[in-house]
């Protein structure tokens, strides 16, 4: 039986999925080579770590596809002095990518077992600038301001609290809307109380648990 060639699979992923989705930032491409995705996916799916798939997680959610992880990193342009808030830790792979670029990362996970697994995985790989918090971040988290905010699951409505927690010149990524019409949105904070939003692409991902939703009319 031939041994699976993870390095060749990683190269193929970058060339065939990432670059073809207009992710050409060498910093992002180098990061995808350095942070081993196969060490973060659930063990049963290790051979599929580089496939263009949303891999299932034990908590019922799914990892983003590799090209979405890469595209979001490129759009956010994370700097080494940035403070990052991630809502939804999941497997911890995007957390690791963010932590590789940022000053520090606070990642909020509502499921305790998922948080514990991600914490152990990140610690094992030496990510000392990550703090995993167990809690509900669907409407913001804590009182601090952040340079970068990332929601890893969708929200029908984007709560204003996230914009309030965005530092000046900060960037926020969220998938906003309901299936089948969700938009991947990048928001820039231009000045206190002033933001601009750009819709990057269409996608459909699971909503955050307890996500803010529009009122429903009952007849």
Structural domain of 89: 6-203
What pLDDT, on the 0 to 100 scale, is given for residue 1?
39
Give the H or E element holding residue 143. none
Say whether pLDDT at 217 is over 70.
Answer: no
* CA 43 from centre of chain: 20
- Summarised one tens digit per residue, pLDDT across range 98-138 is 999 999 999 999 999 999 999 999 999 999 999 999 999 99
- Summarised one tens digit per residue, pLDDT across range 23-80 is 999 999 999 999 999 999 999 999 999 999 999 999 999 999 999 999 999 999 999 9
DSSP string, 40-78: TS-GGGGGGTTSSS--B-TTS-BPPPHHHHHHHHHHHT-
Query: Is residue 49 in a domain?
Result: yes
- Summarised one tens digit per residue, pLDDT across range 168-192 is 999 999 999 999 989 999 999 987 7
Query: Is residue 76 in a domain?
Result: yes
Query: Is residue 208 in a domain?
Result: no
Query: Is residue 189 in a domain?
Result: yes
Q: Does pTM top 0.75 for this prediction?
A: yes
Query: Is residue 56 in a domain?
Result: yes
Say whether pLDDT at 215 is over 90.
Answer: no
Query: Can you give the CATH number for the domain in which 86 is found?
Result: 3.40.50.150
pLDDT confidence of 218, banded at 50, 70, 90? Answer: low
The tokens describing 4, both together, are 């699976």
Comparison of pLDDT for 213 and 12, the residue scoring more: 12
CA dihedral 147, 153, 156, 161 (to 10 degrees): -30
């Amino acid at each position: 039986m031939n041994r699976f060639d993870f390095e060749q699979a990683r190269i193929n992923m970058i060339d065939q999925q990432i670059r073809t989705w207009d992710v050409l930032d060498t910093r992002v491409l180098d990061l995808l080579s350095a942070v081993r995705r196969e060490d973060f996916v659930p063990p049963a799916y290790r051979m599929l770590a580089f496939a263009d798939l949303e891999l299932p997680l034990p908590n019922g959610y799914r990892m983003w596809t590799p090209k979405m992880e890469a595209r979001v990193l490129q759009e956010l342009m994370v700097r080494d002095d940035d403070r990052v808030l991630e809502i939804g830790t999941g497997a911890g792979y995007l957390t690791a990518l963010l932590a590789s670029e940022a000053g520090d990362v606070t990642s909020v996970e509502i499921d305790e077992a998922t948080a514990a697994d991600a914490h152990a995985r990140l610690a094992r790989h030496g990510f000392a600038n990550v703090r995993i918090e167990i809690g509900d971040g669907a409407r913001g988290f804590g009182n601090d301001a952040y340079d970068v905010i990332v929601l890893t699951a969708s929200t029908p409505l984007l709560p204003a609290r996230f914009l309030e927690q965005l530092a000046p010149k900060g960037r926020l990524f969220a998938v906003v809307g309901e299936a089948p019409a969700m938009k991947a949105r990048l928001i820039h904070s231009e000045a206190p109380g002033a933001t601009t939003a750009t819709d990057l692409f269409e996608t459909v991902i699971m909503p955050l648990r307890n996500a803010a939703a529009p009122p429903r009319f009952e007849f």
